Amino acid sequence: MRLIALLLLWIGLAGAAVAQPAPSAAPRAVETGPKSTVRIEAELVSMSQWATPGGTAIVAIRQQIEPGWHTYWRNPGDSGGPTTLTWNLPGGVAAGDILWPVPERQRLADLMNYGYSGQVFLPVPIEVPADARPGTTLPLIVRALFLVCSDEMCVPDELMLRLDLPVRDGAAPLDPRWGEDIQTVVETAPRPAGITARATLSGQTLTLTATGGPLTQNDGDRAWFFPFDTGVIQHAAPQPGERGPNGVTLNLQIGGALRTGGLTGPIGGVLVTDTGAWEITAEPGPPLPGADGEGALDLSEATSSAAGVDWLVFGQAALFALLGGLILNLMPCVFPVLAMKAASLAKSAHAPAEARRDGLLFTAGVLVSFLILAGVLLGLRAAGEAVGWGFQLQSPVITAILALLMLAVALNLSGVFHVGAGLQAAAGAGPLSRLPGGVGAFFTGVLAVVVAAPCTAPFMAFALGAALVMPAPLALIVFLMLGLGLALPYLLVSLSPRLLARLPRPGAWMERLKGVLAFPMYGAALWLGWVFLNQAGADALGLLFGAALALALAAWLFGQAQASGGRLMAGVAVVSLLAVAGLSFAAVRAPRVEAGSTATSAALPSQPWSEAAVSAATAEGRTVLVNFTADWCVTCKINERAALSSPRVAEALTEANAVYLVGDWTSRDDAITRELERRERSGVPLYMVFRPGQAEPEILPQLLTEGVVIDALAG
């Protein structure tokens, strides 16, 4: 899929360029003529041979873009960034806005960008003062910042361009070299043309109607709309519509901006048909008459490629999701919930009906939770948010709540209090039946999904990466297959009488087992507290410890009340729970204390990851090892301890003259999220080795060994 590289760096450079004040005199160091990088050649050229006093001259940024690379329109589409210009002009001379040509639609997977390839001219009008003296020369200098991208990477290229434009009296002929090309771009560039347009929002569809002007004579078979602003529509979606006697109607799928804010004002853009391209401004209002009714418009590539579904990729993603869910049962983050599942299954092993009920309800809890998690993730993505698998643990609020929840579960397994004990006693259940029944099985499935989020098992990376660019119904099926894989072993055992019969009969050993199984839950609570420390700082962690102490006191008092039936003790437990709520609120509101990332390995000297750091190191001829990790990712921590912290790996890094870069995804980082998307991953861990002269990195397995890392560094 198409992803952004170095976009934040590009934005930073663009901001610095715009903020740079224009000096009073033109720098003499800037020479005329073309300037180039390995990706693009650019030159400031004129449409006419000279400028006249008091007139308007047209100059253009000529781009000659290398094959396989492209730059962007004013609205880049789903990724990228437009070319920006910062002028340094003589006194009295003023530059206008870029006259943007109609862009190409650049499709990559399910993304659509708007940009240019090959040779392109970006004309700019230059106002020449009336007191400009004939026979002089106007030094025009511009700092041009291009985001130049291929299918694999993006690089911000900044070039200083200069044109010495002569001033003479009389009408100027076209420049013999580039004049006709620039004139053609100027004549065909979209402009307002007396077209009236309306925009009507209905559900997830924006109906755009346009009539009048040249559309009354338009008999073309195609039409499409390029909005000036991002987030208005889904750029890659088809644009079905109709042609009417006075214009056209297009039905557009709305983007994140309209989903969150609604249609609050006019929508500007370029309407393109077979016969021309025009700027339009669609005011909110009912559809215009005469813009539909004479047959469907043929949108050619825009409709067919977006509407088509790669069923082979979908089938692979669903199968890999099922396998990934099965393997997820073996990942460290799911061990605490496996303990709860084991205790529940052992309790009902010789009650087949109860075992079947628990198995089905546990599976239901897993599937419902995956549906909710997938719906939230896909919704945030559609709204333009950069999120990935495990995104909920990037929030200190969620981390704190989960830490307290794990502590409560551990206290329950330790026998401090019991869930549902009163109801079970009323039904004559013995002391060994204190674990929750069907409701408990359902919420155990919910908890399994929550704690599984920090792990990415083998096969999951491809499945989730593919799901996040599929249509929503297919993506939800992939997530359900992942949930089915997670729940399948427990479900099969619960539905198989032969397997159940092999389990030992209930007895006093189960109470001891419960006590032992509490300790993985205590460990999970401590681990989440450590994650919370790295997200919110030491002061917040102290408050969270206070909340944990209050929760433990509340659980003990509640257990005492259960044993004695004392109302006072129950009241004290309620007060303690209120203390937990207050301390938890204080914890998540505590200021963030930056103490440096703990996601890096102490044994290997590292630097923060960025696209610029990767490019700089490979340009020096050095190999780059990239580790995308997070403090809440248990798989990441195991890999760092087992494979990324040994003296042998450190020696291999030194011998290879390699650079070790760490991308810390513990808290939200949109740049890392976009890089994960670019590599068709939805979460961490991700390990890559970049080598000089190679455009694509080597992707290492998600479960590392010393040998794998050393062999990759050796090349």
Round the average pLDDT of the chain to a whole number and report it. 76
Q: For residue 292, is pLDDT > 80?
A: no
430-479 residue pLDDT tens: 333 334 567 777 877 777 776 665 555 555 555 555 555 566 777 788 88
Please give the pLDDT value at position 594.
41
For the domain spanning 192-307, the CATH number is 2.60.40
pLDDT band per the 50, 70, 90 thresholds, residue 344: low
* Amino acid making up residue 431: P
489-540 residue pLDDT tens: 878 877 876 766 666 565 566 667 667 767 877 877 887 787 777 667 777 7
Q: For residue 330, is pLDDT > 90?
A: no
Tell me if domain 7-189 and domain 607-714 are identical in fold. no
CA 91, distance to chain mean position in Å, is 45
DSSP 8-class letter at 16: H
Q: For residue 144, is pLDDT > 90?
A: yes
Instruction: Map 363-427 to HEC letters.
Output: HHHHHHHHHHHHHHHHHHHHCCCCCCCCHHHHCHHHHHHHHHHHHHHHHHHCCCCCCCHHHHHHC
Please give the pLDDT value at position 176.
93
What is each CA distance from 75 to 5, 72, 112, 224, 227, in whole angstroms? 17, 7, 11, 15, 7
Q: For residue 303, is pLDDT > 50?
A: no
577-601 residue pLDDT tens: 666 666 666 555 554 444 334 444 4
Q: For residue 415, is pLDDT > 70?
A: yes
DSSP-derived pairing of the beta strands 111-116 and 686-690: unpaired
Query: Mean pLDDT over residues 691-709, rounded?
Result: 83
The CATH T-level fold of domain 7-189 is Immunoglobulin-like (2.60.40)
DSSP 8-class letter at 122: E
What is the C-alpha to C-alpha distance for residues 459 and 467, in angstroms, rounded to an integer? 13
212-239 residue pLDDT tens: 888 876 566 678 899 999 889 988 888 8
Q: For residue 393, is pLDDT > 90?
A: no
Best mean pLDDT range from 116-125, 253-262, 400-409, 584-593: 116-125
Q: Which of 60-64, 271-275, 559-563 has the lowest mean pLDDT?
A: 559-563
233-267 residue pLDDT tens: 988 888 888 887 788 889 898 887 887 778 888 99
Q: Which of 268-277, 300-309, 360-369, 632-641 has the lowest mean pLDDT?
A: 300-309
Please give the pLDDT value at position 425.
36
Residue ranges per structural domain of the chain: 7-189, 192-307, 311-517, 607-714
Look at 405 and 481; give whichever has higher pLDDT.
481
Q: With b meaning 16 or more CB within 10 Å and e meaning fewer, what string describes 653-677? A: beebebbbbbbbbbbebebbbbbbb
pLDDT band per the 50, 70, 90 thresholds, residue 428: very low
Please give the pLDDT value at position 157.
86
Whole-structure pTM value: 0.44
Least Cα distance to 115 among 123, 127, 107 occurs for 107
Please give the pLDDT value at position 352.
73
pLDDT band per the 50, 70, 90 thresholds, residue 408: confident
Element (H, E) at 343: helix 335-347
Q: How many helical (H) and strand (E) elements, i.e. helices and strands, does the chain have?
A: 21, 24
What is the C-alpha to C-alpha distance for residues 268 and 288, in angstroms, rounded to an integer? 17
| Burial class, 551, CB count within 10 angstroms (exposed 0-12 / middle 13-18 / buried 19+) | buried
56-110 residue pLDDT tens: 999 999 999 999 889 999 999 887 889 999 999 999 999 999 999 999 988 776 6
Query: Mean pLDDT over residues 342-370, rounded?
Result: 75
Please give the pLDDT value at position 387.
47
Please give the pLDDT value at position 422.
39
* Amino acid making up residue 430: G
What is the C-alpha to C-alpha distance for residues 540 and 398, in angstroms, rounded to an integer? 14
What is the C-alpha to C-alpha distance for residues 664 and 635, in angstroms, rounded to an integer? 14
Please give the pLDDT value at position 294.
56
Please give the pLDDT value at position 131.
92
Distance, first Cα to last Cα, the chain: 26
Residue 567 neighbours by CB under 8 Å, 6+ apart: 561
Angle subtended at Cα 474 by Cα 471 and Cα 475, rounded to the nearest 5 degrees: 80
CATH 3.40.50.300 fits 607-714, yes or no: no
Please give the pLDDT value at position 305.
36
